[in-house]
Amino acid sequence: MADALAALIGQYDISGRYLDRNAIDQIGDYFSAAEQRLAAAEQISGAAGAIVREASARLFRAEPDLLNPGGNAYTTRRLSACLRDMDYFLRYASYALVAGDNRVLDERVLAGLNETYKALGVPTGPTARSISLMADVVEEMLADAGIPTGALIRDPFQYLVRGLVEVDVRNR
């Protein structure tokens, strides 16, 4: 699992070049945002269960049919799997946030997801919405803690959503 810094240096190493002004600026940006990324990850780690509970409550209020017979969260087993997956997406979003690099999401989450969700008949629309809702909850929580929010925080969540939408599996 690489971070943005290792990826940048790796690109220059492969081409046999010294770091130029653009690379130095990118490294400076990486380090200047490190404190914000780490503070956000600490908040997420400490409140992961609450984040998942609040985001799932919002999802099921907006889409109660998911909990009804025929819905993908109907039965305790399916609901538990939904909550487990939300926690999984939240955890990996926090890894990408700390790394400053979304490639971990490709490697550890999105690769193979299409086949898995197809095999299980899981629609990705509600899953993508749950990830967006978790981003909302995280931003609210961070704002309450005085930690700046915005694109830096939301980016890993949006990346997951875009990846899921690309492999959208329609509800059967």
pLDDT tens track for 93-128: 999 999 999 999 998 899 878 678 878 888 889 999
**pLDDT for position 2:** 77
**pLDDT for position 171:** 42
Residue extents of the structural domains in the chain: 1-32, 34-166
Architecture of the domain whose range is 34-166: Orthogonal Bundle (1.10)
6 sits in the region (left: phi over 0; alpha: psi -120 to 50; else beta) called alpha
Question: Residue written as tokens 């989450």?
Answer: 109
Query: Is-above-0.85 flag for pTM?
Result: yes
pLDDT for 170 beyond 90: no
Contact criterion met (CB below 8 Å) for 90 and 121 = no
**pLDDT for position 169:** 45
CA distance 6 to 127: 31
CA distance 79 to 90: 17
Mean pLDDT of the chain: 92
